[in-house]
Amino acid sequence: MNAGGKYSRFALVKEMMETSDIIRNFKLENADSAVAAIKDCGRLFFTGEGSSRIFPAKNAMCCAMANGMKVNFATEGSRQASEYDLSGFAVFGASNSGQTKEVICLFDALKKAGHDKLFALTAHENTTLESFSNQGFVLSCGNEEAVAATKSVEEQALVYQQILAMIDGKDISAELTKLGDAVEAALTMEIDPAITDAIAKAGTIHFAGRNDGVAEELTLKTNEITRKKSDYLEGTYAVHGIEEVMNADDVVILIDPFGVELEKIKETLVDGVGMKVFSVSDSDTIFPTIKIQSVGQLSNYVYLAAGWNILVEVGISLGIDLDKPTRARKVGNEFNG
């Protein structure tokens, strides 16, 4: 994928290609109150809907837990979260528009109950969601014209990851130039046309990987960008029974796969079902592999960008208008109060 030729007419591609500079130039300001609130209660809850929650929240949680942070984390969509006792949590609600109904209703209820640790993450100033919060953070990435959220997803994730780094007495700023370069390389690398063709012809596109938001987010993006059926297979779920209903024309894309499970995946899915399996990894695997540059615990941003690249190639090969799904909307459930 690149910014010219057959790609140039799509806002989606333009917005994806802006991501590397957004990463390089990322700065988080005025976060001391949020850091203090999280330290004070020792519990942090992430909420939002769709892309505003899946990768930003789960990536932050996985990285923090891998580092042994002494904070209890949880995440849920806002309707289910409204059934929880969140009085002991600092709560972050993400919504690019700041108008997502589910999140606003949750924050309204929490504010009326006297909750004083509510933080909004939006892409616009002075939104409804921010008005229900103790503090709002506004992304620098600007508006997205394409329905599928892309650059905003990675900046949301950076906000969360930087806040958690600050709680731990660290700073990710020194790593952002390298990360931006790796994301740019993932976006612009050539995807083997045979891989693109196999995915484009698939009945169902399965993404398998850790519960860190990457494979799950790419599953959603598959629906929005390629208009094909997709499924998210968490962890090693791909070899725990779902093969019974898989077909030979399905494909599985492994994101940063567990090396010790590759032979079992081959036995179960390739030999057993007859389907094609591809891998996105920072090293070669036994499957056709799309290789990315490792940047340590920031590598998830690169994996996500590589997935975008794959999906754009598939969408274009299918002759799809990447910017305008037939039914999906930019704000899925808009607050009109």
**How far is it, in rounded angstroms, from Cα 147 to Cα 80?**
25
- Nearest Cα to Cα of residue 52 among 108, 97, 119, 117: 97
Give pLDDT, residue 325: 73
Architecture of domain 5-174: 3-Layer(aba) Sandwich (3.40)
**How far is it, in rounded angstroms, from Cα 197 to Cα 220?**
20
Q: How far is CA 211 from CA 7, 58, 313, in A?
A: 31, 7, 25
Q: How would DSSP label each residue in 201-261?
A: T-SEEEEEE-SSSHHHHHHHHHHHHH--EEEEEETTGGGTTGGGG--TT-EEEEES--GGG
| Residues whose CB is less than 8 angstroms from the CB of residue 77 and which lie 6 or more positions away in sequence, other chains included | 47, 48, 49, 53, 102
Give pLDDT, residue 330: 52
Give pLDDT, residue 3: 82
> DSSP secondary-structure letter at 100?
B
The rounded Cα 30 to chain-centroid distance in angstroms is 24
Give pLDDT, residue 337: 67
User: Superfamily assignment of 180-317 in CATH?
Assistant: Glucose-6-phosphate isomerase like protein; domain 1 (3.40.50.10490)
Give pLDDT, residue 332: 65
pLDDT per residue as tens digits for the range 62-120: 999 999 999 999 999 999 999 999 999 999 999 999 999 999 999 999 999 999 999 99
Q: How would DSSP label each residue in 155-211?
A: HHHHHHHHHHHHHTT---GGGHHHHHHHHHHHHHSPPPHHHHHHHHT-SEEEEEE-S
| Residues whose CB is less than 8 angstroms from the CB of residue 295 and which lie 6 or more positions away in sequence, other chains included | 175, 178, 179, 182, 301, 302
Asked whether the beta carbons of 16 and 305 are under 8 A apart, the reply is yes
Give pLDDT, residue 245: 92
Strand partners, 91: 45, 118
Give pLDDT, residue 324: 85
Domain with CATH 3.40.50.10490 in the chain: 5-174, 180-317
Per-residue pLDDT of the chain (337 residues; tens, 9 = 90+): 888 899 999 999 999 999 999 999 999 999 999 999 999 999 999 999 999 999 999 999 999 999 999 999 999 999 999 999 999 999 999 999 999 999 999 999 999 999 999 999 999 999 999 999 999 999 999 999 999 999 999 999 999 999 999 999 999 999 999 999 999 999 999 999 999 999 999 999 999 999 999 999 999 999 999 999 999 999 999 999 899 999 999 999 999 999 999 999 999 999 999 999 999 999 999 999 999 999 999 999 999 999 999 999 999 999 999 998 766 655 666 656 6
Which residue shows structure tokens 């837990």? 65
Question: What is the phi/psi pair of residue 26, to 5°?
Answer: -65, 135
Amino acid (one-letter) located at 198: A
Secondary element (H or E) of residue 3: none
Strand partners, 205: 230, 251
